[in-house]
Structure 1
Amino acid sequence: MSNEHYLNNPLIHKNRQQHAHTSEWIRQFDCRDLRPLIICRGPIRKEAMDVFVEMGINDFGILLSEKDSIVYQDALAPELRAIKDPNHIHRVPDYTGTNKEEREQRIAQIISIAHTNGYNSIFAGYGFMAEDEAMVAAMEKAGLNFIGPCSKTVHDAGLKDEAKRTALRVGVSVTPGIDNGTALTLLKKYPTIQALKDLVAKQALPLDESLLDQTDISLEDKADLVLQASYDKGIDLYTVDELSETLTEAVMRMYAEYPSNRVRLKAISGGGGKGQRILAAPSAYEGDEASRIEQAAKKTPELIREILNEVKATGVGDNKNVLVELNIETTRHQEIQVIGNGEWSMTLGGRDCSLQMHEQKLLEVSVTVESLQAAIEEAKQQGRATEQRVLEQDLKTLVAMEDEAARFGEAVGLDSVSTFECIVDRDKHFFMEMNTRIQVEHRVTELCYALKFANPENPNDYFIVESLVEAMVLLAAHGSKLPKPERILRHNDSVEARLNATNNALQPSAGGVIEYWSDAIEGEIRDDQGISLHNPDTDVFIKYTLAGAYDSNIALLLTVGETRLDTYERMAETLRRTTIRGKDLATNLSFHNGLVNWFIGNNINARPTTRFIVPYLTLVGEVKALADNIDLDAAWHLLADHVTAGAEGAAKTALSECLALKQTLLTRPLAALLSDPHALSGWLSIHSDCVGPVGDTLVWNENPVELLAETYEFLNMGYRPGQAAASMIWSHDNELLQEAKQFYEDLDDRLACEDWIELCSVLDEDCAPEASGLSEELWAAVRSTHYGYQAGMDLLLILPKLGLLADFCALAVNEDLTIHIPERLLDADHQAKMAKVLAPPPAAKADEILAASGGMFYGRESPEHALYVEPGSHFEAGDPLYIVEVMKMFNKVYAPFAGTVDEVLVDKDGVIIRKGQPLFKITPDEKIEIETPEQKQARQRAKTAELMQSLL
């Protein structure tokens, strides 16, 4: 990269003032001779293109998959618009293929495309192929410069079994378990060195037999050498059944040592949530200890097959190794960003990725030394000694993980950007794996730290890099010449929310069309691969279909700040003001809004574990179940009758007219909150102290007029002239609300009360306070106006009452920053029930089962297995019926009740199904009662009357 491009690069704009002339030392890092082929998708593809242009690299191409998760309906993709030469756009069926043979074909195809079109380097981003050792090695062999870790690093660090052995060798703490199940399986069949030699000879394996005679290599490692030779030749030396037997035995041994823990099964080639399953602890079963262990381990073979299917490692000659690890039950998932040039290795702080579900990250938060030091000082000043101790331990843990990550990076010869992943359990931490690729959440790190590369002979001659993609390019082009940089603080904190195509229960929801997306606001950093751009020719928003072939991610939303609270509040503001809508579109935007506000309302320094999200969702489901019982129209009329009771004649008429003026002012925001459980969760979190109990009733701790105004803003329904009335407070309601707010502002100035409770006490008096200077007549008018503005406001009490009924505040942050999770929220059956409340299944007839989501249908465990059900099959509640592959994950769907299959309506595996599509005609064992609309309305009115009676 030339000095000129550095100086004009917005990523490193600080250099503009620091270098007014061309530096010969900087000029040597020119990268314009790179001609990269981008073989990934999503936001990272657009980011790479932007960075390349900023670096002066203009001769690049992209690989475009026919299954890309974002389909552009009415216009070219933004990435395609940026490429002026259509010959630089290359189409392939998909990025990786469905099995080993197709992967090899795709690798050969990519190499051919690169050679034919004059590309000399490959950028794979964080896609499927970014850490595929075979692909990286093939690229290197073909003379292509891979912009990422080399194949040796990918092998030593990227394969989870190899990485674990390396970690042990260099003194890195690892999770208890086994990493050599395939070697142990082979040694059951060939238990001696001679037996292994005979096997090598018989199969003509490409292995130097003298290695098997070396005394410094263990028998298990020698078995691994034989296995590697078999993979190279493309043959199997063990069956999946044999491997499953070995791993089942390992699981049982682990259960015997840790009977209260679950066990994690993890494919060595998995990642991003793929290829992992968790076995329940023996304590979840009945019987004596031996019986419980046997029951818990019984599902191992089934889960092994699911894992191998998911990572597409079922082919002949595929490495089918699966790790067996102790599942640390209080896990916090943290990762350290590592960068190296093959000689030096350094870290760039950490990220807390504990807020995840089904191994899929949702909200990722930076963890930096500077942020923790600031939080420690704040806790110290405010006298929160326990919190201070926890934060001090977190700081020690972060420093230790960064030290281990740097050592591990040097041990594997890291020559690019990678991520060192750990699990943290209070004061202990364990290395999990290294992802030898840039990760989705890399922006969280680069927004906190930049890299300062200085001339070793002249410290004043330097350049600064703020982009990790840019750093990867520099390392690929000039790695050996790059001196070890200094990390420079940009911001103490950053946070990233992954905007995904999921429903309210966070289940994948493909197939929707984005028809509108509001513009990014000030302070929002949005990585959306250009989806929210308007058509440059018409200024009309371009429609996008979420095909869901690869994963559910739509965009990444980020904010930064000098404290974590500042960062979270900016994220809350971003989420509050973001609007995205479309046809059949479901996203987790509202979920993020609720979650971020939960932490703001509780403690942003809280230490959630990876088990937090499901109980949190369950609580939100409980709130929604209560909200679903509310008939808001009936509630309003009950309140109106209560307010006007006792009034007569003109007074009653006037009071009724006053209430009529307020009906839409009050009911519209309540309707919005009651219909959006995640927004309601956020509201309850930040308004948990808005009421207090007095006997059996609730009284306001703050002025409900102010609370109503805040609620409109919280819902992004504040008055904005020129906007559609449906999306904001109506003008006449806004006038009334603003008049009420001004009245209380003037009253506060005149009476100078400390709080709302004192103000109400003063207004209850017949005489005005002497200091107010108000006449008796004016005081009477003030009191009358006050009662008029407050009339009907108690309808808002429905919201905190629902929180109390759901015991919403029981999910709380403890003094030591752990989170107290009520037992009911951990019950698996209750969790599943509340998931259905959040995302009700499609309405079905009593004689059919509908698809719970769109995706690809499979009627069996794997191609060699029998169908789960066929015509005439009887199934019990909880039996598997089918598998749907949607957005990268295999989801097994279980029967909600017992019955008999009369007809299977999907004729073969691999068929795309849509949500709500009939899949099976069935005869249930018991008659299914379906609530009629009339019954639903009667239920809601009865529940509403019961609720309002408790409030009035």
Structure 2
Amino acid sequence: MKKILVANRGEIAIRVMKTAKKMGIQTVAIYSTADRNAPHVKFADQAVCIGEAPSSESYLRGDKIIEVAKELGVDAIHPGYGFLSENAEFAKAAEKNNLIFIGPKSKAIEIMGSKLAAKDAVKAYNIPMVPGIDHAITDIAEAKKVALEVGFPVLIKASAGGGGKGMRVVEKEADFEAQMNRAVSEAQAAFGDGSVFLERYVTSPRHIEIQVMADAHGNILYFFERECSVQRRHQKVVEEAPSSVLTPELRKQMGEAAVMVAKSCDYLGAGTVEFLLDENLNFYFLEMNTRLQVEHPVTEMITGVDLVELQIRVARGEALALKQEDLKICGHALELRVYAEDPINDFLPSVGHLDVYRLPQGEGIRVDNGFEQGMDIPIYYDPMLSKLITYGASREEAIELMIQAIAHYKVEGVQTTLPFGTFVCQHEAFRSGHFDTNFVKKYYDAEILKKQRETEAEVAMLVALKQYLSDQKVVRLPIS
């Protein structure tokens, strides 16, 4: 494998390229017209414009990407995450064109891409699942009957997708029909498939995921867990590894269950098995993400393993050199997704110009970044600027370092989730470890950040005024 095309943009494209270069592999970047001056374009050995700004005309053009790969003599394609990373047809097309897809085979992507097919695949392995319906449904009368059997509250979820789309929590029977209609409509719009399924809603769950890696020689390892319970709109914002609530026995049980999930679909490469953990520490299979996760750096920090390097080695046909007993948890890592979003205004995207953009540095601080000062934030893509990761010997140390790192991360021109990260790290519920996926709903108050922002603006104004008055006192000698 001498040349890899990275079919993505931003921080993940650079992240993959760094490891490829470390391994002596050349890299090819693709970019849209909106990204022509982006850092990932400059970082690659070669770069090709793939199309216009909308992702449907650029980063989602699998046919065009494969055409470019063949023209440039590329050996393999790394899809990153998002875009085509979980597109079975793209993986198939790569295989047909003798290009190595650095990810699982298309069959595994297809199985795990459907939540119902995934549940069906893991049934034989006695993996715990939340009680509910095990087939797709669009008929409201049938769905209501199932909901009454399962018991309220229930969760309606799109069969074909994720990211919080096509998902509704229904607290009581009277609301069911309206919420069912909304879920089906949203699923149809987002995924072209309106089918949904129902399951009992676990009211105070924690979102725990297990990183796995499988080679083509029958070896599957789990790289412990990540805690991903701090979310907004069902999407993660703060992640950490390890979780503060898992015992060694429970960690082993969940790790072995994740390995079984990977076995159920003949998995290859890096994947993540997601579980819900209830207040009594019972865990339930949720889904499998057949790609590298956004939050993979926290796992790398506590295990000392480069997951992208393992992905590439497995894709080359190499056997995993590690054994499960070789893997140990060392220290604690935290990640904040730095989005160009306004946490005061319901986390809505904050499009604008990066007038100031300076990253924090120091021991224990890692920033996987995709932007630089002077750039505009494109409206066409996910608004994530970077991932801020801190590592310490203990959870407390990692949290304190995160607060310091956020304070030294300077962004002007757009609003970001940095103040929200500070709020989380300073909140007693998070610091104590006693929180769940309802953290934002229970504890977050935008007014706190609003007052803080107003105070900072007042201080900046006073400093500017003081400087102005000082300048007026300077004696200017008349010109003779």
Question: 1:485 matched to which residue of 2?
Answer: 323
Identity %: 22
Residues 727 and 555 of structure 1: is their aligned pair in 2 closer, same or farther, counting only changes over 3 Å?
farther
1:611 to 421, 438, 441: 438
CA distance in 2, matches of 1:482, 1:95: 39
1:306 maps to 2:191: no
- Residue 335 (1) aligns with residue 209 (2): yes
Specify which of 38, 42, 45 is matched with residue 81 of structure 1.
42
Q: How does 1:147-186 map to 2 (within 5 A)?
A: 147-181=102-136
**Residue type of the partner of 1:348?**
F
Tell me the distance in 1 between the aligned counterparts of 2:465 and 2:20: 42
Structure 2 letter corresponding to 1:249 = A
In structure 2, the residue matched to 1:789 is none
Deviation at 1:483, TM superposition (A): 4.3
Structure 1 residue 250, shift from structure 2 partner: 4.5
Change in 2 beyond 3 A, CA 1:725/1:349: farther
Give the alignment of 1:410-559 within 5 angstroms: 410-426=263-279, 427-450=281-304, 466-479=305-318, 481-486=319-324, 487-489=326-328, 491-503=330-342, 504-523=344-363, 524-529=365-370, 531-532=371-372, 542-559=373-390
Mapped contact 2:116–2:134 kept (Cα < 8 A)? yes
Shift of 1:725: 8.9
The aligned counterpart of 2:401 is: 570
SS in 2 for 1:298: helix
- Partners of 1:365 and 1:351 lie apart in 2 by 6
Change in 2 beyond 3 A, CA 1:89/1:557: same
Mean CA deviation greater in 164-173 or 604-613 = 604-613
CA distance in 1, matches of 2:327, 2:466: 46
User: By how many angstroms is 1:517 displaced?
Assistant: 2.0
State the one-letter code of the partner of 1:409: A
1:346–1:624 CA distance, 2 compared to 1 (3 A) = closer
Counterpart-to-counterpart distance in 2, 1:144 and 1:166: 28
Aligned mates of 1:117, 1:170 — CA distance in 2: 44
In the TM superposition, residue 674 of structure 1 has moved relative to its aligned partner by: 5.4
Structure 2 Cα separation of the partners of residues 551 and 592 of structure 1: 18
1:244 pairs with 124, 134, 138, which one?
138
Deviations 1:149-200 (A, max 9, x none): 111221233332221111211111112222422xxxxxxxxxxxxxxxxxxx
Distance verdict in 2 for CA 1:360–1:180, change over 3 Å: same
Once the two structures are superposed, the pairs formed by residues 109-508 of structure 1 within 5 Å of their partners are 109-181=64-136, 244-245=138-139, 248-268=140-160, 270-271=161-162, 273-282=163-172, 293-311=173-191, 313=192, 320-342=194-216, 343-367=218-242, 391=245, 394-426=247-279, 427-450=281-304, 466-479=305-318, 481-486=319-324, 487-489=326-328, 491-503=330-342, 504-508=344-348
| Structure 1 equivalent of residue 56 of structure 2 | 97
- Runs of 4+ deviating beyond 4 Å: 727-730
* Cα contact 1:275–1:308 (8 A) shared by 2: no
**Separation in 1 of the partners of 2:228 and 2:23?**
31
1:353-412 Cα deviation digits (max 9, x unpaired) = 1100111111001126xxx6xxxxxxxxxxxxxxxxxx4x64433221111001221222
TM-score by length of 1: 0.46
The CA deviation at 1:35 is: 1.8
1:258 Cα shift?
A: 4.5
- Identify unmatched segments of 5+ residues in structure 2: 468-480
Cα gap change, 1:250 to 1:399, in 2 (>3 Å):
farther
In the TM superposition, residue 502 of structure 1 has moved relative to its aligned partner by 1.2
Q: Deviations over 1:707-758 (max 9, x none)?
A: xxxxxxxx9x9xxxxxx9949999xxxxxxxxxxxxxxxxxxxxxxxxxxxx
Q: CA deviation at 1:424?
A: 0.6
- Distance between the aligned counterparts of 1:151 and 1:52, measured in 2? 23
Give the conservation status (yes or no) of the 8 Å contact 2:78–2:103. Answer: yes
Q: For 1:673 and 1:62, locate their aligned partners in 2 and report how far apart those are by CA, in whole Å.
A: 38
Distance 1:51 1:727, change over 3 A: farther
Secondary structure of 1:448's match?
A: helix
TM-score (norm 2): 0.88
Equivalent position SS for 1:244: coil
C-alpha change, 1:500 and 1:591, in structure 2 (3 Å) is same
Q: Secondary structure of 1:130's match?
A: coil
| Shift of residue 603, structure 1, vs aligned partner | 5.9
Give the conservation status (yes or no) of the 8 Å contact 2:31–2:41. Answer: no
Cα distance in 1 for partners of 2:401, 2:465 equals 21
Letter of the structure 1 residue corresponding to residue 157 of structure 2: L
- State how far apart, in whole Å, the 2-side matches of 1:673 and 1:483 are: 50
Q: 1:866-945 alignment to 2 at 5 Å?
A: none
Letter in 2 for 1:140: E
Residue 341 of structure 2 aligns to a residue in which SS? coil
Distance 1:83 1:259, change over 3 A: closer
Structure 2 matches for 1:619-630, cutoff 5 A?
A: 619-621=445-447, 623=448
2:9 matched to 1:41? yes
User: Distance between the aligned counterparts of 2:256 and 2:465, measured in 1?
Assistant: 52
Distance in 1, matches of 2:420 and 2:358, equals 18
CA distance in 2, matches of 1:431, 1:395: 19
Pair 1:43–1:506, CA change in 2 (3 A): farther
Change (3 A) 1:581 1:560: same
Give, in whole Å, the separation in 1 of the partners of 2:270 and 2:287: 14
State the shift of 1:304 in Å.
0.9
Which structure dedicates a bigger proportion of its chain to helix?
1
Aligned partners of 1:421 and 1:431 also within 8 Å:
yes
State yes or no: 1:50 paired with 2:18.
yes
Q: Distance in 1 between matches of 2:29 and 2:323?
A: 31
1:95 deviates by 8.0
Deviation per residue, 1:223-247 (Å, 9 max, x gap)? xxxxxxxxxxxxxxxxxxxx632xx
Give a deviation string over 1:889-908, Cα, whole Å, max 9, x none: xxxxxxxxxxxxxxxxxxxx
Q: Deviations over 1:606-656 (max 9, x none)?
A: 231211202322x443x579x6xxxxxxxxxxxxxxxxxxxxxxxxxxxxx
Q: Distance in 2 between matches of 1:302 and 1:407?
A: 35
Within a 5 Å distance, the mapping from 1:808-847 to structure 2 comes to none
| Alpha carbons of structure 1 residues 674 and 116: separation in structure 2 relative to 1, 3 Å | closer
Contact 1:61–1:90, Cα closer than 8 Å, also in 2: no
Uncovered stretches (5+) of structure 1, i.e. residues with no partner: 1-32, 182-242, 283-292, 314-318, 373-390, 451-465, 533-541, 628-671, 678-714, 718-723, 731-952
Q: Deviations over 1:21-60 (max 9, x none)?
A: xxxxxxxxxxxx33211111121100111111110002x2
Task: From the superposition, tell whether residues 727 and 34 of structure 1 become closer, same or farther in structure 2 (CA, over 3 Å).
Answer: farther
Contact (CA 8 Å) 1:95, 1:129: kept in 2 or not?
no
Residue 521 of structure 1 aligns with an amino acid whose one-letter code is: Q
For the residues of structure 2 that align with 1:518 and 1:572, how far apart are their CA atoms?
16
8 A Cα contact 1:251 1:263, kept in partner: no
Counterpart of 2:412 in structure 1 is 581
Structure 2 residue identity aligned to 1:615: K
Which amino acid counterpart does residue 411 of structure 1 have in structure 2?
S
CA–CA separation in structure 2 for the residues paired with 1:729 and 1:576: 24
RMSD: 2.9
User: Which secondary structure does the structure 1 equivalent of 2:402 belong to?
Assistant: helix
Select between 48-57 and 114-123 the one with higher mean Cα deviation: 114-123
Q: Per the alignment, in what secondary structure is the counterpart of residue 108 of structure 2?
A: helix
The residue type equivalent to 1:169 in the other structure is A
**Higher-Rg member (1/2):** 1
Aligned length: 461
Q: Which has the higher contact order (CA 8 A, sep 6+)?
A: 2
